Amino acid sequence: MDYIVSYNIRVSDNIRTLAEEFSKELVNEINTQLKEKDKINIALSGGNTPNAIFKELAASYKEKLNWEKINLFWGDERCVPPEDSESNYGMTKKHLLDYIKIPSKNINRILGENDPHGEAKRYSDIIRNSLNSVNNLPECLVWEKTGIQYQYFRIKWNFLDLIKYVKSLFILKQNGEE
């Protein structure tokens, strides 16, 4: 099956510029979608790259987004408690959630401290019951695991199905400043 994709490619010399550009486009996309919807669901990424993005959102956009209309989910988590330095939720809390006014009911974290099998089932149920679905697939605004790309898509695990929903690709030059 062939795919024709069209998206903007943004190359940044440093992580700060990448975070600023990514945050600006993400906020524009959120606000655009909120004109048509009561709420928006966002799946967050883990890793180190989102730190700069979370800091930028907290510093520049905490008052420019209606956080009460945003539901947060996580695409992945480590099997650790939220206080652990390896926790994706803990990192998000430290760099974003502690600075914005978002209702706790809108924060749908993976409980990394729980039994992994039981937690996978619990979180799958939350996803299934919380998100609208099209063709039995949940809809969510997602940024990729690398944290530098975001996509609006119906969650699937097949990359070729995902790539056709990409709107922008943000790239940090290999020799760019961290």
Alpha carbon of 136 to those of 1, 2, 102, 132, 156: distances in Å? 21, 23, 28, 9, 10
Could you tell me the pTM of the whole model? 0.80
Single out the residue of 165, 149, 169 nearest to residue 4, CA to CA.
165
Q: For 17-49, how does the pLDDT look when each residue is reduced to its tens digit (9 = 90+)?
A: 888 988 898 898 889 889 988 998 888 877 777
CATH 3.40.50.1360 describes domain 8-173: yes
178 or 147, higher pLDDT: 178
Q: Calculate the average pLDDT of the chain.
A: 78
2: left (phi over 0), alpha (psi -120 to 50) or beta: beta
Q: Please give the C-alpha separations between residue 10 and each of 14, 67, 87, in angstroms, as whole numbers.
A: 12, 26, 29
Residue whose token pair is 């299934």: 128
27 residue type, one letter = V
Angle at CA of residue 45, ends 29 and 27, nearest 5°: 20
| For range 68-90, the mean pLDDT | 91
Residue 103 pLDDT: 97
For residue 144, the model assigns a pLDDT of 47
Residue 153 CA to residue 2 CA, distance in Å, equals 18
pLDDT above 70 coverage of the chain, percent: 70
The structural domains of the chain, with segments of one domain joined by +, span 8-173
Give residue 178's pLDDT.
Answer: 52
Give pLDDT, residue 124. 84
What is the b/e burial string over 156-173, where b = at least 16 CB atoms within 10 angstroms of the residue's CB?
eeeeeebeeebbbbbebe
